[in-house]
A and B are shown apart, each in its own frame.
Chain A
Protein backbone atom coordinates (compact mmCIF):
# COMPACT_ATOMS: atom_id res chain seq x y z
CA UNK A 1 0.00 0.00 0.00
CA UNK A 2 2.88 2.37 0.74
CA UNK A 3 5.69 3.45 -1.50
CA UNK A 4 9.28 3.03 -0.39
CA UNK A 5 11.72 5.82 -1.04
CA UNK A 6 15.30 6.32 -0.03
CA UNK A 7 16.18 9.30 2.15
CA UNK A 8 19.75 10.61 2.19
CA UNK A 9 21.21 13.18 4.57
CA UNK A 10 23.60 15.39 2.61
CA UNK A 11 25.97 17.84 4.11
CA UNK A 12 26.01 21.18 2.43
CA UNK A 13 29.32 20.87 0.68
CA UNK A 14 30.43 20.82 -2.87
CA UNK A 15 29.75 17.77 -4.98
CA UNK A 16 27.60 15.78 -2.59
CA UNK A 17 24.69 15.30 -5.02
CA UNK A 18 27.19 14.40 -7.72
CA UNK A 19 28.76 11.82 -5.37
CA UNK A 20 25.32 10.43 -4.64
CA UNK A 21 24.46 10.03 -8.31
CA UNK A 22 27.80 8.38 -9.01
CA UNK A 23 27.15 5.75 -6.34
CA UNK A 24 23.77 4.93 -7.87
CA UNK A 25 25.21 4.93 -11.37
CA UNK A 26 27.92 2.47 -10.33
CA UNK A 27 25.32 0.30 -8.61
CA UNK A 28 23.15 0.31 -11.73
CA UNK A 29 20.20 1.86 -9.92
CA UNK A 30 17.74 4.01 -11.84
CA UNK A 31 16.05 7.04 -10.30
CA UNK A 32 12.40 7.55 -11.12
CA UNK A 33 11.81 10.71 -9.14
CA UNK A 34 13.58 12.74 -6.55
CA UNK A 35 13.33 15.80 -4.35
CA UNK A 36 16.08 17.66 -2.54
CA UNK A 37 15.28 19.90 0.40
CA UNK A 38 18.03 22.36 1.13
CA UNK A 39 18.77 24.31 4.27
CA UNK A 40 21.73 26.48 5.09
CA UNK A 41 23.68 23.60 6.55
CA UNK A 42 22.41 20.39 5.02
CA UNK A 43 20.15 18.87 2.42
CA UNK A 44 17.81 15.92 2.48
CA UNK A 45 17.41 13.99 -0.72
CA UNK A 46 14.47 11.66 -1.26
CA UNK A 47 14.30 9.44 -4.29
CA UNK A 48 12.18 6.70 -5.79
CA UNK A 49 14.43 4.15 -7.42
CA UNK A 50 14.01 0.88 -9.21
CA UNK A 51 16.07 -0.92 -6.57
CA UNK A 52 16.06 0.65 -3.13
CA UNK A 53 17.88 -2.21 -1.47
CA UNK A 54 20.82 -1.97 -3.85
CA UNK A 55 20.80 1.82 -3.59
CA UNK A 56 20.85 1.87 0.21
CA UNK A 57 23.55 -0.79 0.41
CA UNK A 58 25.78 1.05 -2.06
CA UNK A 59 25.21 4.42 -0.40
CA UNK A 60 26.00 3.09 3.07
CA UNK A 61 29.18 1.50 1.79
CA UNK A 62 30.11 4.87 0.36
CA UNK A 63 29.56 6.47 3.78
CA UNK A 64 26.22 8.18 3.24
CA UNK A 65 23.64 8.51 6.00
CA UNK A 66 20.66 6.96 4.26
CA UNK A 67 17.64 4.77 4.88
CA UNK A 68 14.53 3.48 3.23
CA UNK A 69 11.32 5.13 4.42
CA UNK A 70 7.63 4.85 3.59
CA UNK A 71 5.51 7.47 1.91
CA UNK A 72 2.09 7.51 0.34
CA UNK A 73 1.42 7.79 -3.39
CA UNK A 74 -1.76 8.33 -5.34
CA UNK A 75 -2.59 8.57 -9.01
CA UNK A 76 -4.35 11.45 -10.70
CA UNK A 77 -5.18 12.12 -14.33
CA UNK A 78 -2.46 14.18 -16.01
CA UNK A 79 -4.52 17.36 -16.44
CA UNK A 80 -5.10 20.68 -14.66
CA UNK A 81 -6.94 20.63 -11.35
CA UNK A 82 -6.63 16.92 -10.59
CA UNK A 83 -4.04 17.25 -7.84
CA UNK A 84 -5.97 20.12 -6.32
CA UNK A 85 -9.05 17.90 -5.92
CA UNK A 86 -7.12 15.37 -3.87
CA UNK A 87 -5.36 17.96 -1.78
CA UNK A 88 -8.75 19.47 -0.97
CA UNK A 89 -9.87 16.10 0.35
CA UNK A 90 -6.78 15.75 2.53
CA UNK A 91 -7.15 19.28 3.78
CA UNK A 92 -10.80 18.62 4.61
CA UNK A 93 -9.71 15.64 6.69
CA UNK A 94 -7.20 17.79 8.56
CA UNK A 95 -4.20 15.99 7.10
CA UNK A 96 -1.09 18.10 6.79
CA UNK A 97 1.47 17.37 4.09
CA UNK A 98 5.09 17.65 5.16
CA UNK A 99 6.48 17.40 1.64
CA UNK A 100 5.38 16.30 -1.78
CA UNK A 101 6.90 15.33 -5.09
CA UNK A 102 5.64 13.69 -8.21
CA UNK A 103 6.34 12.14 -11.57
CA UNK A 104 4.22 11.38 -14.59
CA UNK A 105 3.71 8.04 -16.25
CA UNK A 106 3.17 8.61 -19.94
CA UNK A 107 2.01 5.03 -20.57
CA UNK A 108 -0.96 5.48 -18.22
CA UNK A 109 -1.40 9.20 -18.93
CA UNK A 110 -1.41 9.79 -15.21
CA UNK A 111 0.69 11.49 -12.60
CA UNK A 112 1.83 9.85 -9.40
CA UNK A 113 1.84 12.25 -6.44
CA UNK A 114 3.98 11.20 -3.51
CA UNK A 115 3.21 12.72 -0.13
CA UNK A 116 4.71 12.56 3.32
CA UNK A 117 2.14 12.87 6.09
CA UNK A 118 2.36 12.13 9.78
CA UNK A 119 -0.08 9.21 9.59
CA UNK A 120 0.15 7.24 6.35
CA UNK A 121 -2.64 4.81 7.30
CA UNK A 122 -5.16 7.51 8.09
CA UNK A 123 -4.36 9.40 4.88
CA UNK A 124 -4.66 6.19 2.84
CA UNK A 125 -8.07 5.48 4.36
CA UNK A 126 -9.34 8.96 3.59
CA UNK A 127 -8.15 8.76 -0.02
CA UNK A 128 -9.64 5.31 -0.51
CA UNK A 129 -12.99 6.43 0.87
CA UNK A 130 -13.03 9.17 -1.77
CA UNK A 131 -12.22 6.75 -4.54
CA UNK A 132 -8.68 7.93 -5.14
CA UNK A 133 -6.35 5.30 -6.64
CA UNK A 134 -3.39 4.70 -4.39
CA UNK A 135 -0.11 4.06 -6.17
CA UNK A 136 1.17 0.53 -5.69
CA UNK A 137 4.81 -0.28 -5.45
CA UNK A 138 4.77 -2.78 -8.33
CA UNK A 139 3.53 -0.25 -10.86
CA UNK A 140 6.61 1.85 -10.28
Chain B
Protein backbone atom coordinates (compact mmCIF):
# COMPACT_ATOMS: atom_id res chain seq x y z
CA UNK B 1 0.00 0.00 0.00
CA UNK B 2 1.33 3.43 -0.91
CA UNK B 3 0.91 6.71 0.88
CA UNK B 4 1.85 8.81 -2.16
CA UNK B 5 1.95 6.52 -5.18
CA UNK B 6 2.90 9.27 -7.63
CA UNK B 7 5.99 10.18 -5.65
CA UNK B 8 6.93 6.70 -4.43
CA UNK B 9 6.66 5.14 -7.87
CA UNK B 10 8.06 8.03 -9.93
CA UNK B 11 10.02 6.77 -12.93
CA UNK B 12 13.78 7.04 -12.82
CA UNK B 13 13.74 9.74 -15.48
CA UNK B 14 11.12 11.81 -13.67
CA UNK B 15 12.97 11.41 -10.43
CA UNK B 16 16.25 12.55 -11.90
CA UNK B 17 14.66 15.75 -13.16
CA UNK B 18 12.99 16.30 -9.79
CA UNK B 19 16.18 15.63 -7.83
CA UNK B 20 18.20 17.88 -10.15
CA UNK B 21 15.82 20.83 -9.83
CA UNK B 22 15.79 20.57 -6.07
CA UNK B 23 19.53 20.06 -5.70
CA UNK B 24 20.12 23.31 -7.59
CA UNK B 25 17.67 25.08 -5.26
CA UNK B 26 19.07 23.68 -2.04
CA UNK B 27 22.67 24.45 -3.00
CA UNK B 28 21.76 28.05 -3.65
CA UNK B 29 19.82 28.15 -0.39
CA UNK B 30 22.71 26.95 1.76
CA UNK B 31 25.28 29.06 -0.11
CA UNK B 32 23.26 32.19 0.54
CA UNK B 33 22.16 31.44 4.12
CA UNK B 34 24.76 29.27 5.85
CA UNK B 35 28.22 30.81 6.26
CA UNK B 36 29.80 27.37 6.75
CA UNK B 37 28.58 26.21 3.34
CA UNK B 38 29.59 29.43 1.65
CA UNK B 39 33.09 29.05 3.15
CA UNK B 40 33.32 25.37 2.17
CA UNK B 41 32.31 26.11 -1.42
CA UNK B 42 34.42 29.24 -1.75
CA UNK B 43 37.40 27.27 -0.52
CA UNK B 44 37.18 24.87 -3.47
CA UNK B 45 36.07 27.68 -5.81
CA UNK B 46 32.70 26.08 -6.40
CA UNK B 47 29.83 28.38 -7.31
CA UNK B 48 26.17 27.43 -6.89
CA UNK B 49 25.84 27.86 -10.67
CA UNK B 50 28.36 25.03 -11.16
CA UNK B 51 25.71 22.63 -9.87
CA UNK B 52 23.36 22.06 -12.76
CA UNK B 53 21.84 18.77 -11.76
CA UNK B 54 22.11 15.66 -9.63
CA UNK B 55 25.06 14.37 -11.69
CA UNK B 56 27.12 17.28 -10.33
CA UNK B 57 26.55 16.30 -6.69
CA UNK B 58 30.03 14.76 -6.32
CA UNK B 59 31.53 18.25 -6.77
CA UNK B 60 29.99 19.43 -3.51
CA UNK B 61 31.86 19.32 -0.22
CA UNK B 62 30.86 16.91 2.54
CA UNK B 63 29.18 17.85 5.80
CA UNK B 64 30.13 16.06 9.01
CA UNK B 65 28.90 15.88 12.57
CA UNK B 66 31.81 18.16 13.43
CA UNK B 67 30.30 20.91 11.26
CA UNK B 68 27.08 20.61 13.25
CA UNK B 69 28.99 20.68 16.52
CA UNK B 70 31.09 23.69 15.49
CA UNK B 71 27.90 25.53 14.60
CA UNK B 72 26.03 24.60 17.76
CA UNK B 73 23.22 25.36 18.28
CA UNK B 74 21.70 27.15 15.27
CA UNK B 75 24.62 27.96 12.97
CA UNK B 76 23.64 25.47 10.26
CA UNK B 77 20.11 26.81 9.91
CA UNK B 78 19.22 28.11 6.47
CA UNK B 79 15.87 29.60 7.45
CA UNK B 80 15.15 32.64 9.62
CA UNK B 81 15.04 31.59 13.30
CA UNK B 82 11.34 32.40 13.62
CA UNK B 83 10.50 30.00 10.76
CA UNK B 84 11.79 27.09 12.86
CA UNK B 85 8.79 25.39 14.47
CA UNK B 86 10.59 22.47 16.11
CA UNK B 87 13.98 21.60 17.55
CA UNK B 88 15.31 18.11 18.13
CA UNK B 89 18.71 16.97 19.33
CA UNK B 90 20.77 13.83 19.60
CA UNK B 91 23.98 13.14 21.46
CA UNK B 92 27.26 14.19 19.94
CA UNK B 93 30.83 13.07 20.42
CA UNK B 94 31.78 15.58 23.07
CA UNK B 95 28.67 15.62 25.12
CA UNK B 96 27.44 18.57 23.08
CA UNK B 97 24.16 17.79 21.39
CA UNK B 98 23.63 17.71 17.64
CA UNK B 99 20.70 20.02 16.97
CA UNK B 100 18.19 19.80 14.14
CA UNK B 101 15.72 22.58 13.32
CA UNK B 102 12.55 22.11 11.27
CA UNK B 103 10.30 24.53 9.44
CA UNK B 104 6.64 23.69 8.96
CA UNK B 105 7.45 22.28 5.54
CA UNK B 106 10.30 20.18 7.00
CA UNK B 107 7.87 18.63 9.47
CA UNK B 108 5.57 17.85 6.55
CA UNK B 109 8.34 16.13 4.60
CA UNK B 110 9.47 14.18 7.62
CA UNK B 111 5.89 13.19 8.45
CA UNK B 112 5.37 12.02 4.89
CA UNK B 113 8.48 9.84 5.11
CA UNK B 114 7.02 8.20 8.22
CA UNK B 115 3.55 7.96 6.69
CA UNK B 116 5.05 6.15 3.68
CA UNK B 117 6.80 3.73 6.06
CA UNK B 118 3.57 3.07 7.92
CA UNK B 119 1.58 2.58 4.73
CA UNK B 120 4.22 0.16 3.43
CA UNK B 121 3.71 -1.89 6.60
CA UNK B 122 -0.05 -1.99 5.95
CA UNK B 123 -1.31 0.97 7.98
CA UNK B 124 -4.24 3.03 6.69
CA UNK B 125 -6.86 5.40 8.01
CA UNK B 126 -7.99 4.24 11.44
CA UNK B 127 -5.20 1.72 12.02
CA UNK B 128 -4.18 1.82 15.68
CA UNK B 129 -0.46 2.44 15.95
CA UNK B 130 1.31 1.82 19.24
CA UNK B 131 4.34 4.12 19.29
CA UNK B 132 6.83 2.97 21.91
CA UNK B 133 9.76 5.02 20.66
CA UNK B 134 10.78 7.72 23.11
CA UNK B 135 8.99 11.04 22.74
CA UNK B 136 11.11 14.11 23.30
CA UNK B 137 14.34 15.44 21.86
CA UNK B 138 14.85 12.01 20.30
CA UNK B 139 13.10 12.01 16.91
CA UNK B 140 11.71 8.46 17.06
CA UNK B 141 8.44 9.04 18.92
CA UNK B 142 7.31 12.32 17.43
CA UNK B 143 8.39 11.33 13.91
CA UNK B 144 6.21 8.24 13.83
CA UNK B 145 3.45 10.10 15.63
CA UNK B 146 3.19 12.81 12.99
CA UNK B 147 3.46 10.19 10.26
CA UNK B 148 0.57 8.25 11.78
CA UNK B 149 -1.60 11.35 12.02
CA UNK B 150 -0.77 12.43 8.47
CA UNK B 151 -1.85 9.00 7.30
CA UNK B 152 -5.09 9.37 9.24
CA UNK B 153 -4.21 6.43 11.46
CA UNK B 154 -4.77 6.41 15.23
CA UNK B 155 -1.58 7.16 17.13
CA UNK B 156 -1.07 5.85 20.65
CA UNK B 157 1.82 7.99 22.00
CA UNK B 158 2.85 5.60 24.75
CA UNK B 159 6.61 6.43 24.49
CA UNK B 160 9.16 4.24 26.29
CA UNK B 161 9.09 2.48 29.64
CA UNK B 162 6.45 0.92 31.91
CA UNK B 163 6.24 -2.36 30.00
CA UNK B 164 3.21 -3.84 31.84
CA UNK B 165 1.19 -0.75 30.99
CA UNK B 166 2.38 -0.91 27.38
CA UNK B 167 1.20 -4.50 27.12
CA UNK B 168 -2.17 -3.68 28.69
CA UNK B 169 -2.73 -0.75 26.28
CA UNK B 170 -1.62 -2.73 23.26
CA UNK B 171 -4.07 -5.45 24.16
CA UNK B 172 -7.02 -3.29 25.24
CA UNK B 173 -6.77 -0.80 22.37
CA UNK B 174 -6.20 -3.54 19.81
CA UNK B 175 -3.06 -1.97 18.32
CA UNK B 176 -2.32 -3.32 14.84
CA UNK B 177 1.11 -1.85 14.37
CA UNK B 178 3.91 -1.61 16.92
CA UNK B 179 6.72 0.92 16.51
CA UNK B 180 9.81 0.58 18.72
CA UNK B 181 13.44 -0.56 18.70
CA UNK B 182 13.86 -4.22 17.69
CA UNK B 183 15.44 -5.08 21.03
CA UNK B 184 12.48 -3.61 22.88
CA UNK B 185 10.12 -5.60 20.65
CA UNK B 186 11.79 -8.81 21.79
CA UNK B 187 11.71 -7.66 25.38
CA UNK B 188 7.99 -6.91 25.02
CA UNK B 189 7.39 -10.32 23.45
CA UNK B 190 9.13 -12.05 26.34
CA UNK B 191 7.20 -10.04 28.93
CA UNK B 192 3.95 -10.89 27.15
CA UNK B 193 4.84 -14.58 27.37
CA UNK B 194 5.73 -14.22 31.07
CA UNK B 195 2.29 -12.73 31.72
CA UNK B 196 0.78 -15.88 30.26
CA UNK B 197 -0.53 -14.07 27.17
CA UNK B 198 -0.17 -15.19 23.55
CA UNK B 199 -0.22 -13.28 20.23
CA UNK B 200 -3.86 -14.39 19.92
CA UNK B 201 -4.71 -12.03 22.79
CA UNK B 202 -3.56 -9.11 20.63
CA UNK B 203 -4.58 -7.61 17.33
CA UNK B 204 -1.00 -6.94 16.18
CA UNK B 205 -0.28 -7.40 12.48
CA UNK B 206 3.01 -5.67 11.88
CA UNK B 207 5.85 -3.86 13.57
CA UNK B 208 8.15 -1.11 12.35
CA UNK B 209 11.50 -1.36 14.03
CA UNK B 210 14.53 0.85 13.86
CA UNK B 211 16.89 3.27 15.63
CA UNK B 212 19.43 0.50 16.17
CA UNK B 213 21.09 -2.19 14.08
CA UNK B 214 19.46 -5.60 14.15
CA UNK B 215 19.93 -8.98 12.60
CA UNK B 216 17.91 -11.35 10.44
CA UNK B 217 17.70 -13.66 13.46
CA UNK B 218 16.13 -10.90 15.51
CA UNK B 219 13.60 -10.30 12.77
CA UNK B 220 12.63 -13.96 12.74
CA UNK B 221 12.45 -14.03 16.50
CA UNK B 222 10.16 -10.97 16.63
CA UNK B 223 7.95 -12.33 13.84
CA UNK B 224 7.68 -15.70 15.56
CA UNK B 225 7.14 -14.45 19.10
CA UNK B 226 4.59 -11.75 18.23
CA UNK B 227 3.16 -13.43 15.13
CA UNK B 228 3.59 -10.26 13.07
CA UNK B 229 5.48 -9.02 10.01
CA UNK B 230 8.53 -7.01 10.98
CA UNK B 231 9.63 -3.99 8.92
CA UNK B 232 12.93 -2.15 9.13
CA UNK B 233 12.92 1.63 9.19
CA UNK B 234 15.95 3.86 8.72
CA UNK B 235 16.58 7.42 9.76
CA UNK B 236 18.80 9.90 11.51
CA UNK B 237 17.86 13.14 13.19
CA UNK B 238 20.35 15.23 11.22
CA UNK B 239 18.51 14.35 8.00
CA UNK B 240 15.04 14.44 9.61
CA UNK B 241 14.44 11.43 11.85
CA UNK B 242 12.80 8.06 11.23
CA UNK B 243 11.37 7.58 7.77
CA UNK B 244 14.42 8.54 5.71
CA UNK B 245 13.83 5.07 4.36
CA UNK B 246 11.76 2.00 5.18
CA UNK B 247 11.11 -1.52 4.00
CA UNK B 248 8.23 -2.62 1.83
CA UNK B 249 6.51 -6.00 2.02
CA UNK B 250 9.35 -7.62 0.03
CA UNK B 251 11.95 -6.93 2.73
CA UNK B 252 14.83 -6.47 0.32
CA UNK B 253 16.30 -3.42 1.99
CA UNK B 254 14.86 -0.07 3.01
CA UNK B 255 13.56 2.13 0.19
CA UNK B 256 15.11 5.55 0.68
CA UNK B 257 12.69 8.41 0.10
CA UNK B 258 15.14 9.69 -2.47
CA UNK B 259 12.84 12.40 -3.72
CA UNK B 260 13.48 14.01 -0.31
CA UNK B 261 16.89 12.67 0.67
CA UNK B 262 19.45 11.83 -2.00
CA UNK B 263 21.69 8.91 -0.99
CA UNK B 264 25.25 8.20 -2.11
CA UNK B 265 27.73 5.57 -1.05
CA UNK B 266 31.34 6.70 -0.78
CA UNK B 267 34.52 4.82 -0.06
CA UNK B 268 35.50 5.10 3.60
CA UNK B 269 39.13 5.50 2.51
CA UNK B 270 38.99 7.88 -0.45
CA UNK B 271 35.49 9.37 0.03
CA UNK B 272 34.99 8.85 -3.72
CA UNK B 273 31.49 7.77 -4.78
CA UNK B 274 31.12 4.02 -5.21
CA UNK B 275 28.94 2.22 -7.77
CA UNK B 276 25.64 0.66 -6.75
CA UNK B 277 26.10 -2.59 -4.91
CA UNK B 278 29.42 -1.69 -3.36
CA UNK B 279 29.62 -1.30 0.37
CA UNK B 280 30.75 2.01 1.79
CA UNK B 281 29.65 4.97 3.86
CA UNK B 282 26.17 6.34 3.37
CA UNK B 283 25.93 10.05 2.54
CA UNK B 284 22.75 12.11 2.29
CA UNK B 285 21.77 15.38 0.70
CA UNK B 286 18.43 16.79 1.80
CA UNK B 287 16.76 18.02 -1.37
CA UNK B 288 13.74 19.79 0.07
CA UNK B 289 14.58 20.83 3.59
CA UNK B 290 14.49 24.50 4.56
CA UNK B 291 15.40 24.64 8.25
CA UNK B 292 18.64 22.72 8.24
CA UNK B 293 19.37 21.42 4.74
CA UNK B 294 22.51 19.30 4.69
CA UNK B 295 24.73 18.72 1.69
CA UNK B 296 26.45 15.34 1.40
CA UNK B 297 26.12 14.64 5.10
CA UNK B 298 28.24 11.69 6.18
CA UNK B 299 25.83 9.45 8.06
CA UNK B 300 28.71 7.11 9.03
CA UNK B 301 26.54 4.06 8.49
CA UNK B 302 28.09 1.33 6.37
CA UNK B 303 25.81 -0.13 3.71
CA UNK B 304 25.33 -0.51 -0.07
CA UNK B 305 22.79 0.94 -2.50
CA UNK B 306 20.53 -1.17 -4.68
CA UNK B 307 18.73 0.51 -7.59
CA UNK B 308 17.32 -2.67 -9.11
CA UNK B 309 13.52 -2.68 -9.60
CA UNK B 310 11.47 -3.83 -6.60
CA UNK B 311 8.29 -5.85 -7.18
CA UNK B 312 6.44 -3.43 -4.88
CA UNK B 313 6.65 -0.75 -7.56
CA UNK B 314 8.47 1.80 -5.46
CA UNK B 315 11.43 3.33 -7.23
CA UNK B 316 13.18 4.60 -4.09
CA UNK B 317 16.71 3.26 -4.02
CA UNK B 318 17.19 0.59 -1.38
CA UNK B 319 19.92 0.31 1.24
CA UNK B 320 21.13 -3.01 2.54
CA UNK B 321 20.87 -3.70 6.28
CA UNK B 322 23.31 -1.45 8.15
CA UNK B 323 26.41 -3.47 9.00
CA UNK B 324 28.37 -1.03 11.07
CA UNK B 325 29.75 2.46 11.42
CA UNK B 326 32.73 4.29 10.01
CA UNK B 327 33.22 6.15 13.30
CA UNK B 328 33.31 4.93 16.88
CA UNK B 329 29.67 5.72 17.63
CA UNK B 330 27.83 2.94 19.40
CA UNK B 331 24.09 2.55 19.28
CA UNK B 332 23.00 1.19 22.64
CA UNK B 333 19.28 0.47 22.95
CA UNK B 334 18.64 3.07 20.27
CA UNK B 335 20.75 5.74 21.96
CA UNK B 336 23.86 7.13 20.26
CA UNK B 337 26.87 6.77 22.50
CA UNK B 338 30.40 7.95 21.79
CA UNK B 339 33.34 6.60 23.80
CA UNK B 340 34.54 10.20 24.13
CA UNK B 341 31.46 11.04 26.21
CA UNK B 342 32.44 8.34 28.67
CA UNK B 343 36.02 9.54 28.64
CA UNK B 344 35.02 13.06 29.58
CA UNK B 345 33.09 11.71 32.58
CA UNK B 346 36.13 9.70 33.67
CA UNK B 347 38.37 12.77 33.42
CA UNK B 348 36.16 14.89 35.63
CA UNK B 349 34.38 12.42 37.88
CA UNK B 350 36.90 11.29 40.46
CA UNK B 351 40.62 11.80 40.93
CA UNK B 352 41.11 8.15 41.87
CA UNK B 353 40.15 7.05 38.36
CA UNK B 354 42.56 7.01 35.43
CA UNK B 355 41.51 7.57 31.83
CA UNK B 356 42.33 4.02 30.84
CA UNK B 357 39.05 2.31 30.18
CA UNK B 358 37.50 -0.31 28.00
CA UNK B 359 33.92 -0.63 26.85
CA UNK B 360 32.38 -3.99 26.10
CA UNK B 361 28.99 -4.02 24.44
CA UNK B 362 27.00 -7.19 24.23
CA UNK B 363 23.46 -8.26 23.66
CA UNK B 364 22.09 -10.35 26.51
CA UNK B 365 18.55 -11.68 26.13
CA UNK B 366 18.25 -9.32 23.17
CA UNK B 367 18.94 -6.22 25.22
CA UNK B 368 22.12 -4.23 24.75
CA UNK B 369 24.35 -4.16 27.79
CA UNK B 370 27.43 -2.06 28.26
CA UNK B 371 30.25 -2.83 30.64
CA UNK B 372 32.88 -0.20 31.26
CA UNK B 373 36.09 -1.34 32.86
CA UNK B 374 37.81 1.58 34.53
CA UNK B 375 41.35 1.55 35.83
CA UNK B 376 42.41 3.00 39.14
CA UNK B 377 45.24 5.52 39.35
CA UNK B 378 48.45 3.75 40.44
CA UNK B 379 48.60 5.23 43.95
CA UNK B 380 45.02 4.48 44.87
CA UNK B 381 44.06 1.67 47.21
CA UNK B 382 41.07 0.79 49.33
CA UNK B 383 40.90 -1.12 52.56
CA UNK B 384 37.12 -1.43 52.53
CA UNK B 385 34.78 -3.04 50.03
CA UNK B 386 32.18 -0.33 50.54
CA UNK B 387 34.61 2.35 49.36
CA UNK B 388 35.04 0.54 46.04
CA UNK B 389 31.30 0.01 45.75
CA UNK B 390 30.50 3.66 46.37
CA UNK B 391 33.06 4.76 43.78
CA UNK B 392 31.57 2.30 41.31
CA UNK B 393 28.04 3.55 41.96
CA UNK B 394 29.16 7.16 41.57
CA UNK B 395 30.78 6.36 38.21
CA UNK B 396 27.73 4.44 37.03
CA UNK B 397 25.47 7.32 37.97
CA UNK B 398 27.62 9.95 36.28
CA UNK B 399 28.10 7.92 33.10
CA UNK B 400 24.44 7.00 32.88
CA UNK B 401 23.35 10.61 33.20
CA UNK B 402 25.94 11.73 30.63
CA UNK B 403 25.04 9.21 27.93
CA UNK B 404 21.39 8.59 28.73
CA UNK B 405 21.63 4.82 28.90
CA UNK B 406 22.51 2.48 31.76
CA UNK B 407 26.11 1.38 32.01
CA UNK B 408 27.71 -1.16 34.29
CA UNK B 409 31.08 -0.13 35.68
CA UNK B 410 33.80 -2.49 36.82
CA UNK B 411 36.75 -1.03 38.67
CA UNK B 412 40.02 -2.72 37.81
CA UNK B 413 43.57 -2.30 39.03
CA UNK B 414 46.07 -0.10 37.24
CA UNK B 415 47.64 -1.64 34.18
CA UNK B 416 44.95 -4.24 33.62
CA UNK B 417 43.18 -2.57 30.69
CA UNK B 418 44.81 -3.91 27.56
CA UNK B 419 47.19 -1.34 26.05
CA UNK B 420 47.58 -1.16 22.32
CA UNK B 421 50.20 0.44 20.17
CA UNK B 422 48.96 3.44 18.27
CA UNK B 423 45.25 4.13 18.40
CA UNK B 424 43.72 2.85 21.62
CA UNK B 425 41.16 0.11 21.22
CA UNK B 426 38.46 1.39 23.53
CA UNK B 427 35.54 -0.74 22.48
CA UNK B 428 34.75 -4.39 22.03
CA UNK B 429 31.36 -4.85 20.43
CA UNK B 430 30.33 -8.46 20.81
CA UNK B 431 26.97 -7.92 19.12
CA UNK B 432 26.76 -9.57 15.76
CA UNK B 433 24.82 -7.68 13.13
CA UNK B 434 25.65 -9.93 10.20
Contact = CB atoms under 8 A, between A and B. Distances in A.
A66 B381 contact: yes
Contacts of B385: 37, 39, 44
A9 B413 contact: yes
Contacts of A8: 381
Interface string A62-90: 01111101010000000000000000000
A65 B161 CA distance: 41
A10 B414 CA distance: 10
Nearest to B379: A67
Interface SS, A side: strand
B7 interface: no
Contacts of B415: 63
B386 A60 contact: no
Contacts of B386: 98
Contact of B383 (A39, A42, A60, A116): A116
Contacts, number: 56
Contacts of A116: 383-384
Range of interface residues on chain A?
Answer: 20 to 34
Nearest to A63: B415
B412 A60 contact: no
B410 interface: yes
Given A9-B376, A42-B388, A98-B386, A67 B381 contact: yes
A37 B385 CA distance: 7
B411 to A, nearest CB: 7
A103 interface: no
A60 B378 contact: yes
A117 B100 CA distance: 55
A44 B414 contact: no
A51 B380 CA distance: 20
Contacts of B413: 9-11, 63-65
With a 10 A CB-CB cut-off, give which of B376, B380, B410, B413 has the most chain A CB atoms.
B413
Contact of A65 (B384, B389, B410, B414): B414
Nearest to B392: A41
A67 B380 contact: yes
A65 B382 CA distance: 8
A47 to B, nearest CB: 10
A63 B376 CA distance: 11
Nearest to B416: A11
A46 B414 contact: no
A99 B386 CA distance: 11
Interface in A33-55: 37, 39, 41-42, 44, 46
Given A7-B381, A39-B385, A98-B384, 17 more contacts: A7-B382, A8-B381, A9-B376, A9-B382, A11-B412, A11-B413, A44-B383, A44-B384, A44-B385, A44-B388, A46-B383, A63-B378, A63-B413, A64-B413, A67-B383, A69-B383, A116-B384
Interface of B: 376, 378-386, 388-389, 410-416
Interface of A: 5, 7-11, 37, 39, 41-42, 44, 46, 60, 63-67, 69, 71, 98-99, 116
